Amino acid sequence: MIMLSYHHGIKIIRRRGAETWSTQTLLFFIFVVLLCCSMLVNFIFLFKSPRYRSKCPHFTAELYQMNDLRNEVAELKNMVTFLAEPAITDHNYTYLLNPKNACREPLELLIVVPSAPGNFARRMKVRQSSRADYANDPKNKARLVFFLGRQVSEGNDLETQLSVDEEAEKYGDIVQEDFVDVYRNIRLKAMSMLKWASTYCPRTRFVLRTDDDIRTNIPKTVAAMKRASQRLANFILGLKEESTVPVRRSQGVNSKYFISYEEYPEATFPPFAYGGLLGYPISTVKLLYQASLRVKPIWLDDVFITGLCAPKVNVALLSDPDIDFEHHAW
């Protein structure tokens, strides 16, 4: 009887000891959680205090960099989501002229020049200009290519096309697509340059777009692009314009730059860069072309590409004192 009571008492003690230990463990766990929460709150208040930031600038800078990285990841996610969307337009025009081997070797610079089929004299002037001198110097690893559409159907359209064919055969520097080459189709020409450079010159470092009636300093422009590339992987370098008001019906439907409310309903254009001179890395060219297939188009090519498409693919719009040009009447 005594032995039974003894063993029964031992069991009760052990059971109560286990219950006590479980309670102690739970209380200790709660204490640790509260301690961690308290430390986290103190850390947050400490981090936000100006006194702490002044004493620990390096650590604070690293935390800000983490926030910047988080923002960049969010922007990248948005860009990937945008590029995964189906195209709302296409650019499937046939090549009438295509110097496919123009970029056989990796280039440092591809100079693309939009031109009209009948602008023979302007193209010859460009071939005699500093742009051509730069492209023809082997140490620069550069190439100059003109971009044309199809001659408007007129009495001399066949004669003009035959002359363009001869010119292309002689110089090997003309890309021509089968869209009607009129001023209101300059968006198509801009897309043709982006597409061709992406497809046939993917190993080019930089692409420089210059109109066929301007003068600019190519070495300075290239230097500006190199400086920009040290800060950003993707950018557009050009002459920025902000808060531009579209030309509407009240200012004249016959205005060269008229755009209807139906085509562009906003009161102002977004920040953009003039198409006369634009510089960008080839990676930017590829992004802009893909964006141009997914953004509602407007006919003004510089506003469309640099103002509407660029933000969709996180391409920064930059300016530089060395990026400048002047129009020249040949």
Q: How many CB atoms lie within 10 A of CB 271?
A: 16
Q: How far apart are the first and last CA of the chain?
A: 124
Q: Taking the domains of the chain in order of start, what are their residue ranges? A: 40-84, 95-327
CATH class for the region spanning 95-327: alpha beta
How does the average pLDDT of the chain come out, rounded?
85
pTM of the model: 0.78
Burial of 267 (0-12, 13-18, 19+ CB in 10 A): exposed
Q: What is the mean pLDDT of residues 227-234?
A: 96
Residues with Cβ < 8 Å from 195, sequence gap 6 or more? 91, 289
Is the predicted pLDDT of residue 42 greater than 80, yes or no? no
Nearest-10 crossing angle of helices 57-83, 282-292: 50
Min mean pLDDT across 62-66, 204-208, 231-235, 272-276 is at 62-66
Q: What is the mean pLDDT of residues 157-171?
A: 94
13-22, 38-47, 57-66, 240-249: which has the highest mean pLDDT?
240-249
Residues with Cβ < 8 Å from 84, sequence gap 6 or more? none
pLDDT 10s digits, 169-223: 999 999 999 999 999 999 999 999 999 999 999 999 999 999 999 999 999 999 9
Is the predicted pLDDT of residue 66 greater than 90, yes or no? no
β-pairing verdict for 95-97 and 174-180 = antiparallel
For position 248, what pLDDT does the model report?
A: 85
